[in-house]
Amino acid sequence: MKKAIIGKKVGMTQIFDENGKVIPVTVIEAGPCVVTQKKTMEKDGYEAIQLGFNEVAEKKLTKPENGHLKKAGVSPMKYLKEFRLENIEDINVGDTLTADIFTVGEKIDVTGISKGKGYQGVIKRWGAHRLKETHGSGPVHRHAGSMNACSDPSRIFKGKIGAGHMGDEQVTVMNLDVVKVDGELNMLVVRGAIPGPKGGLVYVKNTAKTNREKNTVVTVSTNPQKKSARG
């Protein structure tokens, strides 16, 4: 069964495994999330659930938002997010999902808004080369340089790298390992880094990647030309 939850990035730290090796991890405050809406194949054409996270005062929401949540019979929630999941027959409006829906060893995808880095030049934003600082380059050694051809095509093609707003965009880090789960503290500890600043909103769900177990069985070759086949 596919699972999903809304959380908040607490920060990074490190833990040690049973062999004494350091594991860099990110701590996520995952849930509790309340199911505020359920969409079915018969009524909506697809299966999904809408989760609410971070309870707030009613005055901080608009009238349509308050009406939507009152219809579901749940408290006012600051964040709402819909997740397309399968086999949601056992999930109903008003149910609460906590961090312990995930288990240690599971693979997950984490989506968040990356840190904003303001308006940056072409070197920092795209890794472009700088110009030489001698023989007449002038004070433009970090500029983008020539942009396009001459009279034909007389324009800049779409996708040309240049200076502009860097960061502050949706990023998904895939195939992270769940290292530790604590349902009482709403804590989800994952190996590696996730996008966004401390306190940033993140969405956690099962990984979309297919993880196949590697064949670790050692086989003996039947090729008589190889030493392993000659005994």
**pLDDT per residue as tens digits for the range 31-76:** 899 999 999 888 989 999 999 999 999 999 999 999 999 999 999 9
pLDDT of residue 230: 65
Q: Which residue would you say has higher pLDDT here, 28 or 145?
A: 28
pLDDT of residue 169: 95
pLDDT of residue 131: 84
pLDDT category, 228, cuts 50, 70, 90? low
User: Domains, the chain, ranges and CATH?
Assistant: 4-116+170-230 (2.40.30.10), 117-166 (4.10.960.10)
pLDDT at 89 over 80: yes
Dist. CA 118–CA 96, nearest whole Å: 38
Q: Residues 33, 97: contact at Cβ < 8 Å? A: yes
pLDDT category, 218, cuts 50, 70, 90? low
Q: pLDDT tens digit string along 173-200?
A: 999 999 999 988 999 999 999 999 999 9
- Farthest-apart Cα atoms in the chain, separation: 81
pLDDT of residue 170: 96
pLDDT of residue 140: 83
**Residue 98 CB-half CA count within 13 A:** 8
Helix H or strand E segment including 126: helix 122-126
Q: Residues 53, 79: contact at Cβ < 8 Å? A: yes
Per DSSP, the residues of 141-172 read TTS----S-STTT-SPPTT---SEE-S-SEEE
Q: pLDDT tens digit string along 92-150?
A: 898 899 998 999 989 999 999 999 999 999 999 999 888 887 787 778 888 887 777 67
CB-CB neighbours of 9 under 10 Å = 21
pLDDT of residue 115: 95
How large is the average pLDDT for residues 193-209? 93
